Amino acid sequence: MDKVWFKLRQTHYPPPPETAILQGCTGAEAPICLGHVVEDLRTIDFALNADTIAPFPGRMSVFKTTRVDFEWDDTISKIKRLDQGASAPVATAAGVTLGGSIKLAFSNSVCNHESYEKLDMYIVQPTQSYVTDCLEVKPIATHLQGRRRWSLFMITGLCVARKGIASSSESHGRELGLGVEA
């Protein structure tokens, strides 16, 4: 079982109440809870066991950590360039060559910055027996019925950002250069 953290594209999800997270949600508290099982990361909105999360056994505690003054920057820059040049002898006897070049460049940048006063992280380590029990829950068992190959993802960690600001900016640029050589 691999663990992967990723930021949701939908930032409007309300988190479950903290008491529900720490006790193991039953599934109805929020759109995404610890223990939810999804078919793939593109359909995270639709947990297979949305209302039927198996209760966490006593040895499967939810751990909480907190980061204060968390900042996150994500900048994506793309630059495309085209450089072309050519030269040709104009007067061969005199050794004169005429040449030219053209340069084109296009750039796009997207900058995202987020700053949060507090970031709460909740993590659970599912046991092998818990995972086996989850696969037997009716909605998941029905989904897997008759499939020879499958993969599922279980939500085992949540980060809840509290009191923050987010900003985004875009920039576009073009550059053209012409040159002549003799």
Digit-coded pLDDT (tens) for 75-111: 777 777 766 655 556 555 556 666 667 776 777 777 7
**114-140 exposure pattern, b = at least 16 Cβ within 10 A, e = fewer:** bebeebbebebebeeebeeebeebeeb
pLDDT category at 18 given cuts 50, 70, 90 is: confident
| Cβ neighbours for 57, distance < 8 A, ≥ 6 positions apart | 127, 129, 130
pLDDT of 16 over the 70 cut: yes
**Which of the two residues, 24 and 67, has the higher pLDDT score?**
67
**Residue 119 confidence (pLDDT):** 85
Enter the tokens of residue 73. Answer: 């920057």
- Are 165 and 13 contacting, i.e. CB atoms less than 8 angstroms apart? no
What is residue 97's predicted lDDT score, i.e. its pLDDT? 64
Question: How high does pLDDT run on average in the chain?
Answer: 77
Average pLDDT over residues 56-60: 85
User: What burial class does residue 53 get, using C-beta atoms within 10 Å of its C-beta: 0-12 exposed, 13-18 middle, 19+ buried?
Assistant: buried
